[in-house]
A = this chain, B = another copy of it.
Amino acid sequence: MKTTYREAIRAALADALEHDERVFLVGEDVGRYGGCFAVSLGLLEQFGPERIRDAPLSESAFVGAGIGAAMAGMRPIVEIMTVNFSLLALDQIMNNAASLLHMSGGQCAVPLVLRIPTGGGRQVAAQHSHSLEGWFAHIPGLRVVTPATLEDARGMLATALDDPDPVLIFEHASLYPMTGELADDAGAVDLDNAVIRRGGTDISLITYGGTLPMTLEAADKLQDAGVDAEVVDLRTLRPLDEKTVLESVARTHRAVIVDEGWRSGSISAEISARITESVFYELDAPVARVCSAEVPMPYARQLEQAALPSVERIVAAAREVVGTHG
């Protein structure tokens, strides 16, 4: 069936709401408005205001309420309109959602799902263009996933709802219109493994979320330049599927990490560090990174484009690493 990333998530939401009465959706404008990215459009009519709950502008309160409801046996899906506003709920996320299970000696599990649109590229400037998913992955107790395909958009929610612990699903806003074929019986997918989206022998391009499409495109361009690149989609940023990444690098002996986060202290640094720690002697060249420039996102188009990862920057970095400047 032909569908979009947006529709795939909506279908996953409808599924969950239909098959599990403990599930409900809460967030700003998820109901009457239909979601600021139209993801939940129509769900209010289908499931009613009890289960599709519009919340006031109170990020900390409704995220915390989701945590409390999860502790009491519900399976809340809380949407934070965009990651840019998640900072207002960070205390609830780190000090409660991520800590309660441990603080209570295993009593208070928090089966909460947070859906958080993320990413830049739409010229909405410094306060509305954050890519913080890799940053959230620093927090023990959380599971952080980044669907980058229609299958994952359709399948990660169900698995996240089955997880007894808090799962943050970061949806890159640029992916919502992504269109493609999806199996009619597409369903739950695992959240444990990174996946090799494209096999290759010369270099491993490691990425996730919003930058997967451009990384695949870069791999094609590299092919033309005689570089056979493997593309690894991390899918889950916490806990990292180190094994798949390390095995890929051990095969290709070279790696470039593509990450929309600001470079310093990004998840790309963690991956680079782990590669060095585990397969150092397999490396034929230093691990390289293609990240966002360390700047609050500027509005002007040419500046924003220069700040973000791009096919050109990925290709250049990869060629540098394989040493083929042909």
Contacts and interface: CB of A to CB of B under 8 A. Distances in A.
Contacts of A289: 273, 277
Interface stretch (A70-78, A113-121, A135-143): A135-143
* Total copies of this chain within the assembly: 2
Contacts of A285: 280
B270 A265 contact: yes
A35 to B, nearest CB: 22
Contacts of A98: 296
Contact of A138 (B84, B94, B262): B262
B87 A99 contact: no
Given A91-B87, A273-B269, A126 B138 contact: no
A265 B134 contact: yes
Interface in A247-284: 261-262, 264-270, 272-273, 276-278, 280, 283
A267 B269 CA distance: 9
A127 B273 contact: no
Interface in A168-187: none
A288 to B, nearest CB: 7
A103 B303 CA distance: 13
A264 B137 contact: yes
A130 B285 CA distance: 36
Interface of A: 84-85, 87-88, 90-91, 94-95, 98-99, 102-103, 125-127, 130, 134-135, 137-141, 238, 240, 261-262, 264-270, 272-273, 276-278, 280, 283, 285-289, 294-296, 298
User: Which 3 residue pairs are nearest across A and B when measured between Cβ atoms?
Assistant: A138-B265, A280-B286, A272-B273
22 contacts: A84-B95, A85-B91, A87-B91, A94-B130, A95-B126, A95-B127, A99-B127, A102-B296, A102-B298, A103-B127, A135-B138, A135-B265, A140-B262, A140-B295, A264-B270, A268-B273, A269-B270, A272-B276, A272-B277, A273-B289, A277-B288, A280-B286
